[in-house]
Copies of this chain bind each other. A is one copy, B any other.
């Protein structure tokens, strides 16, 4: 496993590989869990070589957000990546990614200001910019992204398509704890009581799927029941939204393309989760 700390090293490593070998890429912010490792394994089974980046990108955090205390555990992360067979690890610092005089930002209009973007202004601008930079450096054939951050996947797919990138996104299923909680580095913030409460996200999604399976088709009805369920569990709702999975626009009537997206505060920790209401993913 080759570890690269500078852009130049990373570019040199990937460009000296056999050009016939396909390259998969998993961008992460570290604090790796089974969700991330599932992306690495999907990359390994779909590509000849796999690169992983670990970089806590400051430009996607708001001034009141958890950049400073975001979990970091590089030694453990590197051991997990070695165990899982990553070929390259890219560990840039802020000096590499945003040197003095840095000025360029990528905006995906419309998709970036709704849902999570509404509560986190500038978040998707930071995500789009750093991922474009990483893709330009690593030049992967496929980038593996988890659907837990569903809006992020749609924003980045749109960006890569609009900017004529050669890199395609491979959508990967959400990985859950045995009790249903979607894996997230931020789950570490939860106290034992909060950890129990946090189940309300996945349970609310399950309820939504059951309502649709039993014939409910009006989004409003599902949203009202979901609000009740989250409130009863003591979660604070940021948003509950039923949207078209391609456009992220709200839908009044539920169909094959409808996804249910949740953002809920459990204590001070903001968690997200989502699922398709009529399909298996």
**Which A positions have Cβ atoms within 8 angstroms of B?**
7, 19, 101-111, 128, 132-133, 136-137, 158-159, 162-166
**A103–B104 Cα gap in the complex (Å)?**
17
CB distance from A12 to the nearest CB of B (A): 12
**A281–B111 Cα gap in the complex (Å)?**
44
**A108–B135 Cα gap in the complex (Å)?**
19
**B104 close to A158 (CB less than 8 A):** yes
**A19–B166 Cα gap in the complex (Å)?**
17
**A164–B103 Cα gap in the complex (Å)?**
13
Residue of B nearest to A111 (CB): B103
Q: A104-B162, A133-B164 are in contact. List 7 more A-B contacts (CB 8 A).
A: A101-B158, A102-B162, A104-B107, A104-B128, A133-B163, A136-B165, A136-B166
**B108 close to A106 (CB less than 8 A):** no
Task: For A136, list chain B residues within 8 Å (CB).
Answer: 163-166
**B105 close to A106 (CB less than 8 A):** yes
**A83–B178 Cα gap in the complex (Å)?**
69
Task: For A104, list chain B residues within 8 Å (CB).
Answer: 106-109, 128, 158-159, 162-163
Q: Given A103-B158, A104-B158, A158-B104: A164 and B7 within 8 A (CB)?
A: yes
Task: For A105, list chain B residues within 8 Å (CB).
Answer: 106-107, 109
CB distance from A77 to the nearest CB of B (A): 23
Residue of B nearest to A104 (CB): B162
Task: For A106, list chain B residues within 8 Å (CB).
Answer: 104-107
CB distance from A68 to the nearest CB of B (A): 24
CB distance from A253 to the nearest CB of B (A): 22
CB distance from A59 to the nearest CB of B (A): 12
